[in-house]
């Protein structure tokens, strides 16, 4: 048994997330966490809401709420939606927690004492109309890199280039739309990332198994142009972790907070402390996951994120941990994703474009979405959600293949043998061939899951479902029953056991359907099949079962057209 620390990129607090956000971090992280637990490993799966910075302040102002109240409300909303999608976090924390404040300030002091933080006077955009500086998302304009006209002052969501507000062309206030802007001097703390470039480059070079997408983005930031730049880690904002505090080795930072991209990744660690506190555990219980000198050296740490988050997780956050000189656990593997686009355009939270998590759950249960999103995960390139593809895949994979197998087997058994595993008959050559094919398919499925090759894993899982259907069609127990009831009993007994195997193997992808299959079979046994022959005999003759309700229903063309029209104009 191994120990796996798994984190998903923490979502901004500013509203309900869309399906592109979901498949770009949280959902594949949950798939991997569920799989690792199913294989018997110890897992700590952490996520949180990212509650600081301009996104929180702007969203709260738009909602007409104090920012603290808004964040508390939206944390509950996001936690409920995560539960609705069956995301199995061990803890879903908050970056506004006391644990994160304490740890962020501690690391800032440690970095300062190591000579890696210095005060700098810089020029920033000031809005005369708003009477304040406009950091990050408080300012919008045209991206100087790609020409996107709605770029924000921290990053262009179109080309992912990291920006400073002064980089924007034709800037305007995101608060009032005012263009009466000035550039004024203000003092801030800078993390001297440039001093750590060689150490970061050497560390990244050691990660030979990282996805090409991850390493290519990291190396671009390290070496392109002038290379890795020092980064301001404070902002002129009211909401956030105070940059001036008791014990700080600097002065003059009153009224400033730490930059959200400094404190947000630290929340991964703080989240573990929150988890331990919520469980009534000691510090040692979370430190064994995060401090290499206290047991975390044996932990395998995997992060999941969209490609726009890669620079911060491969460079800025590791720079914080490496620069501290303390024994923090560094990530072992970063699974990054391209974008899931929506019906010819981009998903966008700010523009309300696409299908959002709450709307999705209103339409269909979580498993329908989980299966489609994971089986179409944008791993090697951007992918696109269309209603036609969604309907086709759900109907073909879930209803026609898996659902059809479960229904045919259980209903036939009930009609001919009753609601219990039948006895009689023996396996023959066809069953031995099926066991061999299932064993080989299982090995391919496990290899894909171990490698976090998500689309390939989905293909291998579906192939296992197909094997059962092909066997059932060839063995034809409905025909065999007329002349040889014992032969039909042997086929159905194997098929009922195969449903249990499918429930176990499918659980990481479609946990609700897996639970339904296990309940119908009257078993909570979720042991991963080691020996396929033994697994297909786990439910003995006489074991009672029930015929479940329809596992997956088909999506009609009328429904598809209705949903496509409903979401054509974006989120209201």
User: Is residue 143 part of an annotated ligand binding site?
Assistant: yes
- The Cα 18–Cα 357 span in angstroms is 5
Which strand (E) or helix (H) includes residue 299? strand 299-306
C-alpha distances out from residue 525 to 361, 514, 519, 539, Å: 28, 11, 10, 10
Chain CA centroid to CA 529, Å: 26
- The Cα 509–Cα 27 span in angstroms is 9
- The Cα 523–Cα 217 span in angstroms is 47
User: Is residue 271 part of an annotated ligand binding site?
Assistant: no
- Residue 348, helix vs strand vs coil: strand
Contact 324, 117 (CB under 8 A): no
Chain CA centroid to CA 414, Å: 41
- The Cα 219–Cα 210 span in angstroms is 12
Contact 368, 398 (CB under 8 A): yes
User: Is residue 121 part of an annotated ligand binding site?
Assistant: no
Query: In the 8-state DSSP scheme, what is residue 547?
Result: P
Handedness of CA 73, 53, 383, 88 (dihedral sign): negative
Contact 352, 17 (CB under 8 A): no
User: Is residue 302 part of an annotated ligand binding site?
Assistant: no
- Residue 570, helix vs strand vs coil: coil
User: Is residue 146 part of an annotated ligand binding site?
Assistant: yes
Which strand (E) or helix (H) includes residue 345? strand 345-346
- The Cα 79–Cα 97 span in angstroms is 15
> How far does the chain reach from its first CA to its final CA, in angstroms?
48
Q: Which residues contact 488 (CB under 8 A, 6 or more apart)?
A: 416, 425, 477, 478, 480, 481
Residue positions forming the annotated binding site for Zn(2+): 143, 146, 156, 159
Residue positions forming the annotated binding site: 143, 146, 156, 159, 349
Residue positions forming the annotated binding site for ATP: 349
């Amino acid at each position: 048994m191994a120990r796996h620390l798994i984190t998903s990129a923490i979502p901004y607090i500013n509203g309900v997330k869309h399906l592109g956000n979901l498949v770009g971090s949280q959902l594949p992280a949950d798939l991997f966490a569920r799989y690792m637990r199913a294989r018997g490993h110890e897992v700590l799966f952490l996520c949180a809401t990212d509650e600081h910075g301009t996104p929180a302040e702007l969203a709260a102002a738009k909602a007409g709420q104090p920012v603290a109240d808004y964040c508390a409300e939206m944390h509950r909303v996001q936690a409920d939606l995560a539960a609705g999608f069956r995301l199995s976090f061990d803890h879903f924390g908050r970056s506004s927690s006391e644990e994160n404040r304490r740890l962020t300030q501690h690391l800032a002091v440690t970095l300062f004492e190591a000579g890696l933080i210095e005060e700098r006077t810089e020029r920033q955009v000031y809005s005369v109309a708003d009477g304040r500086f406009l950091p990050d998302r408080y300012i919008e304009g045209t991206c100087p890199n790609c020409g996107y006209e709605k770029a924000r002052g921290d990053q262009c969501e179109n080309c992912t280039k990291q920006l400073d507000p002064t980089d924007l062309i034709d800037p305007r206030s995101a608060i009032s739309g005012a263009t009466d802007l000035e550039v004024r001097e203000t003092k801030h703390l800078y993390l001297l990332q440039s001093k750590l470039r060689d150490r970061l480059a050497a560390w990244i070079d050691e990660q030979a198994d990282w996805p090409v997408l991850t390493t290519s983005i990291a190396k671009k930031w390290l070496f392109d142009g002038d290379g890795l730049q020092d980064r301001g880690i404070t902002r002129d904002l009211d909401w956030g972790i105070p940059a001036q505090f008791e014990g700080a080795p600097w002065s003059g930072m009153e009224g400033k907070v730490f930059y959200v991209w400094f404190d947000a990744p630290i929340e991964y660690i703080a989240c573990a402390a929150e988890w331990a506190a919520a469980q009534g555990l000691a510090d040692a219980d979370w430190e064994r996951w995060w401090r290499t000198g206290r047991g975390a050296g044996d932990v395998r740490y995997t992060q999941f994120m969209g490609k726009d988050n890669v620079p911060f997780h491969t460079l800025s956050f590791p720079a914080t941990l490496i620069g501290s000189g303390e024994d923090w656990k560094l990530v072992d593997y970063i699974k990054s994703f391209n974008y899931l686009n929506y019906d010819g355009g981009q998903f966008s939270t700010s523009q309300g474009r696409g299908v959002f998590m709450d709307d999705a759950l209103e339409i269909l249960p979580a498993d329908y979405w989980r299966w489609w999103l994971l089986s179409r995960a944008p791993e090697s390139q951007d992918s696109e959600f269309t209603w036609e593809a969604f309907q086709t895949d759900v109907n073909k994979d879930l209803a026609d293949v898996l659902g059809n197998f479960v229904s045919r087997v259980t209903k036939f058994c009930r009609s001919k043998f009753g609601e219990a595993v039948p006895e009689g008959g023996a396996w023959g050559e066809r069953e031995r061939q099926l066991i061999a094919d299932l064993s080989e398919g299982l090995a391919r499925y496990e290899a894909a899951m171990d490698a976090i090759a998500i689309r390939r894993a989905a293909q291998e899982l579906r192939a296992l479902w197909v094997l059962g259907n092909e066997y059932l069609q060839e063995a034809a127990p409905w025909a065999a029953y007329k002349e040889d009831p014992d032969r039909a009993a042997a086929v159905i007994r194997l098929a009922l056991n195969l449903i249990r195997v499918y429930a176990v193997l499918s659980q990481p992808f479609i946990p609700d359907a897996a639970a339904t299959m296990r309940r119908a079979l009257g078993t909570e046994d979720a042991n991963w099949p080691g020996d396929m022959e033994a697994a297909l005999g786990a439910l003995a003759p006489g074991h009672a079962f029930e015929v479940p309700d329809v596992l997956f229903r088909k999506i009609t063309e009328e429904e598809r057209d209705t949903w496509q029209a409903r979401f054509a104009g974006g989120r209201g």
